[in-house]
A and B are shown apart, each in its own frame.
Chain A
Amino acid sequence: MRLYTPRYVFLYQAIILVLVSGVLGWAVNELRPDRMTWLQTGIEAVPADSGVDMAMDIDVAEALRLHAAGEAVFLDSRHVEDFRVGHIPGALSIPLGLFEDEISAKLAPYGKEAKYVVYCSSITCGMAQELALALGFMEYSDVVVFAGGMAAWVEAGGESEVVVQ
């Protein structure tokens, strides 16, 4: 088999470019102080880039228990439209983008020491973590993230509430 064929020069070029990129990517990652691992399973090992401790996660069983016991206030971080279509009964709608004083006003009846459970649509939605982070900055002391969100809730047979217009 001939190694060099003029017709496939573009493929050789492509291979060279990809190899150069791979070497650069590897080298730069090795030089970074916050280098990532090459092979891993699950997103947990990806470091958070904010440097702030993430709020504690709870799973759907714990969320159902807290909801049934009425021990926590549920906060829905999704857009208002999604909230209207269906949310965990009793949850408050705190869409991302509210100002701090608006959030404080909404949470005033419960105070800073109450237990809050923040959720959004599913595991891939980052809004719950973001809202929890914001609440942490606002010195709400007991905020947890229900990472499974609405998808896990419905799958586990939790009830949902719809806003009728």
Chain B
Amino acid sequence: MNWLTALLRIGFGLVFIAAGVGKIAHPAAFAQIIYNYQMVPDLLVNPMAMILPWVEVVCGMALVTNCLVRGAAFILSVLLLIFLGALWFNISRGLDVGCGCFSVDPQAKGNLLHYAVRDTILFAVGLVVLWRAFADVASRQASARLWHELATPRTLRKKAGDLRGDAPARPVIEDGTLLVGPATQAEAPSGNEGLVSPVPLPGEKQDNDQN
């Protein structure tokens, strides 16, 4: 499924690049659209019109190139949520404004409900991308922890120097298989002749019962 989530991530990024480029080219028209939404204080209309498209494009490019993915996916998901709220707010008060989603034409009329449905679907994709970004990092960290644990077991660390002789060899990966412990240099143990359990196991005969 890695290829699918990678596809979703790149597609999600491309959508925002496509949405942002037109607004970067026509900041004045985009400012008019933001003003028409009647939700932002007048003072913030122009700074928003100048920076918001760049946020979309920069985050979209981060997603496509797979760097700073967590931050980019987080920003874009939050943005989508805000857009969705703005759309619903204007639908509910019956204000038929231009969407300003992909086109900066204030007269690009369309059903706002249609845009809201599209945004909802996009938001669902965004959540998948966001979850995947965090899950990827978590799994990488878990792998690194496991590798560290295998390469330098607790017996090798400080305060356990007297057990150093029991240290297993470094783990290696051969033909895609992880080999851990003595099996890497010796043949596999044929039974458990050499192994003595430090604690009495159930069913084992206990001949030297001292106390």
Contact = CB atoms under 8 A, between A and B. Distances in A.
Interface of A: 9-18, 20-22, 24-26, 28-29, 32, 34, 36-43, 46-49, 96, 124, 126-127, 130
Nearest to B46: A36
A39 B28 contact: no
A43 B53 CA distance: 19
Interface in B1-55: 24, 26-29, 31-32, 35-36, 38, 42-43, 45-47, 49-51, 53-55
A16 B28 contact: no
Contacts of A32: 27
B46 A21 contact: no
B107 A126 contact: yes
Contact of A49 (B26, B53, B72): B26
A49 B4 CA distance: 42
A34 B28 contact: yes
Given A14-B74, A17-B68, A36-B46, 10 more contacts: A13-B70, A13-B72, A16-B68, A22-B54, A28-B24, A43-B42, A124-B35, A126-B32, A126-B107, A127-B107
A46 B42 CA distance: 11
A26 B103 CA distance: 22
Contacts of A127: 107
Interface SS, B side: helix
B contact residues, range: 35 or more
13 contacts: A9-B70, A10-B134, A13-B71, A13-B74, A16-B68, A20-B58, A29-B50, A36-B28, A36-B49, A37-B46, A41-B43, A47-B28, A124-B97
B43 A39 contact: yes
Given A34-B28, A36-B46, A18 B55 contact: yes
Residue among B29, B38, B58 with the highest chain A CB neighbour number at 10 A: B58
B133 to A, nearest CB: 8
B70 A17 contact: no
Contacts of A14: 71-72, 74-75
B42 A41 contact: yes
Contacts of A126: 32, 36, 106-107
A19 to B, nearest CB: 10
The 9 A-B residue pairs whose C-beta atoms are closest, nearest first, are A13-B71, A10-B70, A21-B54, A14-B71, A25-B51, A21-B55, A25-B54, A13-B68, A25-B50
A43 B74 CA distance: 31
A28 B137 CA distance: 34
